[in-house]
Amino acid sequence: MSAVDYAKALLKSGVRLAIVKGGPNGVLVADENSVTAIAGITVTTRCGLGAGDAFGAAVVHGILSGWSPNESVAFANAAGAYVASQLMCSDAMPTEEQVRGLLN
């Protein structure tokens, strides 16, 4: 199944917002009205531990800050990439400014 197929299956099951992570290939964001592919961010991976945690926390941060789902997921994608590029995940959790540096 493709990322789009997974997203459609989630939406069909009643999920209102589907987020399908693809690591370096990016992220798919889908709701009943649209499907958006967010490009991956190329980094040199030093340690993948904590990248998913950073991604999840950043999505929540974006949503609670009133950002759109696409903006939240793009930010989360950068947060995960940042953590993957660092050596120790506990010391690698980025600030919002560090994540925005990857987006610019």
Helices (H), the chain: 3-12, 51-64, 69-84, 89-92, 96-103
Residue 91, by phi and psi: left (phi above 0), alpha (psi -120 to 50) or beta? Answer: alpha
Reported as a single tens digit per residue, the pLDDT across 38-71 is 999 999 999 888 999 999 999 999 999 999 999 9
Reported as a single tens digit per residue, the pLDDT across 19-44 is 999 988 999 999 999 999 999 999 99
DSSP lists the bridge partners of residue 20 as 28
pTM: 0.86
Which domains occur in the chain, in start order? 3-103 (3.40.1190.20)
